[in-house]
Amino acid sequence: MTFLKNLGLLLLTVVALVAWVMLPWQGALAIAVLLTAWMFLFRTGAQTRSVASVGISTLTQRMGSSAVIVVGIAGVVGVLVALLAMAEGYAETLRNSGSEDTAIVMRGASANEVSSSLSRDDILQIGQAPGLARNDKGEPIVSAETVVAANLPIKGSTTGDEGSAQVRGVSEAAFVVRPNVKIIEGRIFQPGLRELVVGKGAVRQFEGLKVGATLKLGNQPWTIVGIFASGDAMESELWGDANAVNDVYRPGSGGSRNSATVKLTKPAALKEFQDSLEHNPQLKVKASTTLEFFAKQSEQMTKTLRIIGIVVGSIMAVGAVFGALNTMFAAVASRAREIATLRAIGFRGMPVVIAVMLETMLLALIGGAVGGLIAWAVFNGYEASTMAAGSVGKLSFNLRVSGGLLWEGIKWALAIGFIGGLFPAVRAASLPVTTALREL
């Protein structure tokens, strides 16, 4: 019988945790309101309030053991939120890197720009498709681009370590399809010359990227003539004239490019543009909005970063749960006579269970709030970099501790408090009154 009871309690705990993980903050607020109303409107609720107030009032007498719960849970939440902030910041940077009125065209079987290849004829036919915006000269706005890699010394490295940077060969059209790209220092490169403009994210990552400096890329000297800002993934790149990049990295390529980014007349023109490319027997390409393209590029890395955060957080949470269990079992044992006396004079078991759990979850809430605030203060906006999915260079991004992540941390904290308080609470309520009264 005891085994079945414990099994039922375990299953109930699992179901409650699954439901809790999926609960939005509005649902948690509704539960809190209903619980508060129950504690003030019903007799069992009033009993719960009485038992809980006594337990909470004695927390100051148990500062050491209470601090174990708070600090342990704060550590779990702080680490969890910091790791998930990496995924959030990475995804946000790539989500901000596209728009609904621009489309990227690549070879049909290609998953990314690096593995794609478009011939000069492909690019000409893409420019003849319907749905494209045109410039003042009546020419379709098409930016045919080359993507290559360059190894550059990492800023701050004492051992001369190098990192991979993505070099993008573009034309003036690149600045038209991406109006958010602004030169903030120096000037734009001259067509046909080995000149570069570098993103401010790349400047922060790599040594020697300043206006007037000379880099050796592809065994050829390149002069940095400008620095640009864009507020998206492009800030991690180095841009140069597409013909000059091809001459150095792909001599004899015949004007081929990796991809073509086009400006649409309006977002709704995408379907007409896609249909035209699909029904052209001379083309084997695919087109999607740049917003969709970068969102897909971020999916796998974001998922990986989240999995890492959850795994590390789960391992730490196990330790925090045992700490909470140990503390609350000790607290219940020290109050065994008090709880038994309350039950002897008519207090039911359920108010005792809920009161003990409320005490634990209050400590968990404090720990979760402390951990979340520390993570926000230390890591929100912190700059990091990693190899971008589908890219040959590092992506610079800022960690983002959003309200959603803070709520996720609080949910973890309360879940730990729930588990840590449930079993001691059930023991307190199920211990025979006569046995409890004999315990010191």
- For the chain, what are the domain ranges? 2-95+298-438, 110-283
257 within 8 A of 121, measured Cβ to Cβ: no
Angle at 295 between CA 130 and CA 111, to 5 degrees: 70
Query: Which pLDDT value is given to residue 3?
Result: 64
Would you say residue 122 has pLDDT above 90? yes
pLDDT of res. 179: 92
Contact indicator for 143, 260 with CB cutoff of 8 Å: yes
**Rounded mean pLDDT, 48-61:** 80
Least trusted range by pLDDT, from 33-42, 90-99, 139-148, 167-176: 90-99
Residues 406-411, mean pLDDT to the nearest whole number: 92
Q: What backbone torsions phi and psi does residue 244 show, to the nearest 5 degrees?
A: -65, -40
Q: What is the DSSP letter of 258?
A: S
**Which pLDDT value is given to residue 435?**
64
Average pLDDT, the chain: 85
Q: Kindly tell me if the per-residue pLDDT of 14 is higher than 60.
A: yes
Amino acid 437: pLDDT: 58
Cβ 347 vs Cβ 124: under 8 Å = no
Q: Is pLDDT above 60 for 439?
A: no
Q: 172-177 contacts: CB < 8 A, separation 24 or more?
A: 173/141, 173/142, 173/143, 173/144, 174/143, 174/145, 174/239, 174/261, 176/135, 176/141, 176/143, 176/263, 177/102, 177/141, 177/143, 177/261, 177/262, 177/263
For 4-12, what is the mean pLDDT? Answer: 71
Percent of the chain with pLDDT over 70: 91
Percent helix, strand and coil across the chain, each rounded to 5? Answer: 55, 20, 25
> What's the pLDDT tens digit per position in 251-263?
877 789 999 999 9
- How would you class 17 by CB atoms within 10 Å of its CB: exposed for 0-12, middle for 13-18, buried for 19 or more? middle
Least confident of 39-43, 307-311, 371-375, 381-385: 381-385
* pLDDT: which is higher, 250 or 195: 195
All residues at 6 or more sequence positions from 396 whose CB lies less than 8 Å from its CB, including other chains = 199, 201, 202, 204, 205, 235, 236, 383, 384, 385
Give residues with Cβ within 8 angstroms of 375, minimum separation 6. 77, 78, 79, 81, 82, 85, 401, 409
Tokens of 370: 């402390």
pLDDT of 303 > 80? The answer is yes
**Per-residue pLDDT tens over the stretch 384-406:** 877 665 555 677 888 899 999 99
**Residue 325 reports pLDDT greater than 70:** yes
The three-class DSSP label of residue 168 is strand
User: CA 50, 51, 52, 54: dihedral to nearest 10 degrees?
Assistant: 90
Listed in sequence order, the DSSP H helices in 96-205 are 120-127, 173-177, 200-205
Instruction: Calculate mean pLDDT across residues 42-65.
Output: 81
Residue 59's pLDDT is: 75
What is each CA distance from 28 to 102, 272, 407, 411, 426, in whole angstroms?
41, 46, 10, 9, 23
Write down the pTM of the prediction. 0.78
pLDDT band at 167 (very low <50, low <70, confident <90, very high): very high
Q: How far apart are CA 209 and CA 223, in angstroms?
A: 10
Q: How confident is the model at residue 440, as a pLDDT?
A: 47
Tokens of 344: 């002897």
* Residue pLDDT, tens place only, 206-244: 998 999 999 998 889 999 999 999 988 889 999 999 999
Look at residue 433 in the predicted model and tell me its pLDDT.
Answer: 64
Residue 361 scores a pLDDT above 60:
yes
- Can you read off the two tokens belonging to residue 260? 């073509």
N-term to C-term CA, the chain: 28
Q: What is the pLDDT of residue 336?
A: 66
Please give the pLDDT value at position 6. 64
Most trustworthy range by pLDDT among 31-35, 58-62, 335-339 = 31-35
Kindly give, in sequence order, each residue whose CB lies less than 8 Å from that of residue 421, ignoring residues fewer than 6 positions away. 324, 328, 356, 357, 358, 359, 360, 361
